[in-house]
Structure 1
Amino acid sequence: MRVLVAGATGAMGRQLVPRLVRAGHEVHGMTRSESKQALLRGLGAVPVVADALDPDQVARAVAEAHPEVVVHQLTSIGPMDMRHFDRAFAQTNRLRTEGTDHLLSAARAVGVGRFVAQSFFAGYDRVGDAVKSEDDPFGTEPPAGMEQTVGAIRHVEDSVLAASWTQGIVLRYGGFYGPNTSLGAGGEQTEAVRRRKFPVVGDGGGVWSFIHIADAADATVAAIEHGAAGVYNVVDDEPATVATWLPVLADSLGAKPPMRVPRLVGRLLAGETGTVMMTELRGASNAKARRELDWTPTHATWRDGFRELGAQARAESGAAA
């Protein structure tokens, strides 16, 4: 198939493009940067330069590639600031609203048969069971300070699933870790854990779901090739509370155990958004993706992945010494 990947040079794109090429697909990689064309060629893709926020450029790019499948992986996340979460995600929110609209319009014009888009597990409503399925309420009660971000995620999902002219597929990824992510060797979150700047807030009862970036790419290939229209949680097998996974991550990185702070102090350090994510977040079940995409994560649990991450971080640190 001919596949256009929008956001092809991001962490996901760098994993996804080579997998699609190896599977025999003709891949066109969209980037807004002229300087990244060589990277895309190295990954095996045909470079397509376009600003996703410019509808005319997107229309030309999609018309030129004339894909059978469009994959929407557009993000632009700045330095993480939990106290001002929506501000940190402002550009990504535009890509998830305006960028989604531009891609859908261009895809419809050329008759794209399948449209696959990135979403995120953390939008599940924070009531009821600790682990959610795709049928549970999503994004109706976002935490304070996260309204714009969750609203943008909802826009992606609602727009893609409402596109009756194509097969719309939404992938609710878990928290990424691995190469080129903020929870990779040398990444922003990794360094925060190593420096004990990532505390357990309150009881640490928020449930997180993770996914190694390579496993997320494998699931995305499966969705592109044979996914049915709808939503899939792309997460590993073990949703876990912050109080469970954060000390394991610190130990894997050779760091001291994370500090523990009361919820009130957490609000001062991480704002209401960060505190809610630490104490109230709901995780996600991957049962549907396993069953319907015929996909199994290689890193079945973040425990395996974090050990691997720790070994990579130590190797890179030793090489730099």
Structure 2
Amino acid sequence: MPKVLVIGASGFIGLPVAQALSRAGHTVYGLTRSESKAKQLAADEIIPIVGEPTNPQPWLNIVPTLDVVIEALGGSADLRTLSVALLKAVGEAAKTSRPASAPKISYIYTSGTWVHGESRNDFVSDTTPLLNPVKLVAWRPAVEQAILSDSTVNGIVIRPALLYGKTASLLSSLFEEAANGKVAWYGRPGGRFSLIHPDDLADIYVRAVEKAPILGGLAIDAGNEYTESVGDFLQKLVEVSGAKGPYELITPSNRTWDIYSPDCY
């Protein structure tokens, strides 16, 4: 069974992924910044490594034994620079410490479907050219290509759609506002959400880990087979929460706020 390191193992994506890999019988190491979260990882039979992603020294020594590294970071002030640095660190460690006859270490990078930008009228898939990414993540396509074309690793990209469920979803703020009697969201009428639940996303990562040798060079969009009407969702939230209707759609004031628009998923 593959040995896997999850960088960001206590995060909204990383934790379900690490837990699912552990349940599937894989040996899983989890990098986290927090001692308390390290205890949670250990309780889930994930081998914790406490440290900062900006300092790979605590885990570089295990790279020779690994089959897969998963980067599942979020919330960093300079995620672009960090992602490039992590790829370089893993690649160099693998090149210098793994036997020449060993298979390439697989490197799974977590991107997002925002790289597709707005698309109300066109069918979008994994192979659609990334011509108009949302401004906030306009740097991601270049990082994706760096990972997919890197000669020292077997690069794979997974692009989650908008996550829903549990406590850290982007949509969680809607439920907080609804509890205070108001439902409002950034966007325009007629939008639709492309969604995926963290547990379903974790299952995709498990499959990607187990099939990694034949997935190198691929970028995979991870979302449900169908989209959801934003208007229907907001109306149902008004009904079940008891908030005062009707719901409100807020016009985004700039391209950064467009990430909250339903056009972007």
**Structure 1-normalised TM-score?**
0.69
Q: Is the 8 A contact 1:125 1:137 kept in 2?
A: no
The Cα of 1:142 is off from its aligned counterpart by 4.0
Q: Which residue of 1 aligns with 2:101?
A: none
Q: Is the 8 A contact 1:208 1:241 kept in 2?
A: yes
**Structure 1 Cα separation of the partners of residues 27 and 46 of structure 2:** 7
Identity among equivalent positions (%) equals: 27
The Cα of 1:15 is off from its aligned counterpart by 1.2
The Cα offsets for residues 234-256 of structure 1, whole Å up to 9 and x where unpaired, read as 10121234234332344454545
Q: Is the 8 A contact 1:246 1:258 kept in 2?
A: no
CA gap of 1:49–1:23, structure 2 versus 1, over 3 A, is: same
- Are residues 1:67 and 2:54 paired? no
What SS does the aligned partner of 2:60 have?
A: helix
The Cα of 1:14 is off from its aligned counterpart by 2.1
**Structure 1 Cα separation of the partners of residues 4 and 46 of structure 2:** 10
**Structure 2 Cα separation of the partners of residues 18 and 276 of structure 1:** 29
Structure 1 range deviating more: 239-248 or 161-170: 239-248
Correspondence list, 1:130-279, <5 A: 130-138=122-130, 140-143=131-134, 147=135, 149-182=136-169, 187-194=172-179, 195-199=181-185, 201-203=187-189, 205-227=190-212, 228-229=215-216, 230-261=218-249, 266-267=251-252, 271-275=254-258, 277-278=260-261
**Structure 1 Cα separation of the partners of residues 53 and 117 of structure 2:** 30
- Are residues 1:20 and 2:21 paired? yes
Structure 2, unaligned runs of 5 or more:
99-103
**Structure 2 Cα separation of the partners of residues 258 and 170 of structure 1:** 40
Q: Which residue of 2 aligns with 1:119?
A: 111
**Structure 2 Cα separation of the partners of residues 217 and 189 of structure 1:** 24
**Structure 2 Cα separation of the partners of residues 127 and 211 of structure 1:** 18
What SS does the aligned partner of 1:132 have?
A: coil
The Cα offsets for residues 120-148 of structure 1, whole Å up to 9 and x where unpaired, read as 1122143573441112122x3345xxx3x
**Structure 2 Cα separation of the partners of residues 276 and 115 of structure 1:** 27
**Structure 2 Cα separation of the partners of residues 174 and 41 of structure 1:** 29
**Structure 2-normalised TM-score?**
0.81
CA gap of 1:163–1:243, structure 2 versus 1, over 3 A, is: same
Structure with higher helix content? 1
The Cα of 1:258 is off from its aligned counterpart by 4.8
CA gap of 1:14–1:142, structure 2 versus 1, over 3 A, is: closer
- Are residues 1:35 and 2:33 paired? no
**Structure 2 Cα separation of the partners of residues 156 and 251 of structure 1:** 42
The Cα of 1:163 is off from its aligned counterpart by 1.4
CA gap of 1:137–1:258, structure 2 versus 1, over 3 A, is: farther
Give aligned pairs, total. 250
Structure 1, unaligned runs of 5 or more:
77-90, 284-321
